[in-house]
């Protein structure tokens, strides 16, 4: 898919996808643990798919026909659609269960935190069948920032969207991988380096062309920590993240008042419905401001070092987009 489709001018995407009742489509990019499946599976919207899609001149389409949900700490309250999808016909991976009652303990981490449930997409009651949709209105890049310095939501320029799409950032934390005690940044180009076959900048150029042509807006959503890094701060509450996504879908953030952050130059809304204003600017949530600034610069340096290998490649038909993308990275 990731080799043949781009050859036909069809953009292959390692992403989730859903559609609103009015036909508005959103793409969700994110590495494992960022909430791609959780947030694309929304009982108020139709699920097109949670993992692999193509964007052609006719719109988007799912090519898998199923979902692959992470189910560590899964509960009926937090994720009812995924919970109810686990029934006869679903395949569970790496989970621990009682041999007599066959009851699964979704909190059990003795094998790995990467526990999974694979099920047909029709197990989701509001699945969009057939799994196709129009051109996306929003592209949402998800990052689980364990350093705790990225805002819960940022409105991105096209160049910033490409920068963060190519970067493909999230962070590993203790418990996710053996031997990790401190947050560790991890970068996976196009949020799927293990799957793509062409150079990441080729996918980015195609995505930029399609977003520009169809007026798609880019967003960066942090589903990770606030008030400090992992072990100090707190994970951003899922209900807050869901309200952020709801506001993006509704279009209410397009007319919001924004403030630009230092270093990453991200536009963050001053207020929004259903989310406390005090958490929207991460600096406000850190008691130790000096530690916040040090951590912010540390993460920015990791971004810059990672992106160095892409800086010599031309993105798009001329050098203007390339220059804008390079300028969209952190400045410090």
Q: Determine the pLDDT at residue 178.
A: 52
**Is the whole model's pTM more than 0.95, yes or no?**
no
Residues of the chain with pLDDT under 50: 176-177
Cα separation, 69 vs 137, in Å, equals 24
Name the CATH code of domain 67-123 (choices 3.40.50.2300, 3.10.20.600, 2.170.8.10, 1.10.10.10): 2.170.8.10
Q: Determine the pLDDT at residue 72.
A: 92
**Domain boundaries in the chain?**
4-63+134-327, 67-123
- pLDDT tens for 115-137 read 999 999 999 999 999 999 999 99
Provide the CATH number for the domain formed by 4-63+134-327 in this structure. Answer: 3.90.228.20
Q: Determine the pLDDT at residue 174.
A: 57
Q: Which residues are CB-neighbours of 82 under 8 A, at least 6 positions away? A: 37, 38, 41, 67, 69, 71, 74, 117
Q: Which two tokens stand for residue 87?
A: 């029934």
Sheet holding 153-156, edge to edge: 46-49, 16-19, 25-29, 136-143, 217-222, 153-156, 267-269, 258-260
The SS3 call for residue 145 is: coil
Q: Determine the pLDDT at residue 314.
A: 79
Q: Determine the pLDDT at residue 179.
A: 54
Q: Determine the pLDDT at residue 32.
A: 85
């Amino acid at each position: 898919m990731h080799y043949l489709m781009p050859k036909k001018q069809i953009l292959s995407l390692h992403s989730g996808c859903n559609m609103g009742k009015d036909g508005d489509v959103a793409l969700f990019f994110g590495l494992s643990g960022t909430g791609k499946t959780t947030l694309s599976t929304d009982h108020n919207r139709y699920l097109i798919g949670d993992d692999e899609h193509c964007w052609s001149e006719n719109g988007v389409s799912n090519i898998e026909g199923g979902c692959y949900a992470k189910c560590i700490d899964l509960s009926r309250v937090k994720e009812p659609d995924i919970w109810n999808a686990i029934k006869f016909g679903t395949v569970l991976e790496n989970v621990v269960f009682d041999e007599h009652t066959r009851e699964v303990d979704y909190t059990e981490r003795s094998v790995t935190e990467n526990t999974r449930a694979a099920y047909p997409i029709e197990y989701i009651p509001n699945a969009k069948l057939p799994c196709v949709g129009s051109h996306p209105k929003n592209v949402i890049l998800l990052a689980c920032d364990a350093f705790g310095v990225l805002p819960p939501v940022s409105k991105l320029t096209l160049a910033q969207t490409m920068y963060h799409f190519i970067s493909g950032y999230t962070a590993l934390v203790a418990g996710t991988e053996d031997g990790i005690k401190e947050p560790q940044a991890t970068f996976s180009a196009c949020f799927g380096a293990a799957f793509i076959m062409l150079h990441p900048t080729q996918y980015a150029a195609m995505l930029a062309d399609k977003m520009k042509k169809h007026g798609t807006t880019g967003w960066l959503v942090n589903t990770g920590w606030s008030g400090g890094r992992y072990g100090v701060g707190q994970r951003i509450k899922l209900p807050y993240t869901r309200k952020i996504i709801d506001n993006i879908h509704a279009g209410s953030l397009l007319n919001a008042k924004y403030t630009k952050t230092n270093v990453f130059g991200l536009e963050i809304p001053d207020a929004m419905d259903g989310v406390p204003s005090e958490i929207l600017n991460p600096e406000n949530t850190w008691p130790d401001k000096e530690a916040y600034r040090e951590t912010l610069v540390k993460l920015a340096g990791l971004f810059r070092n990672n992106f160095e290998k892409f800086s010599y490649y031309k993105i798009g038909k001329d050098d203007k987009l390339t220059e804008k993308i390079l300028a969209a990275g952190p400045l410090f």
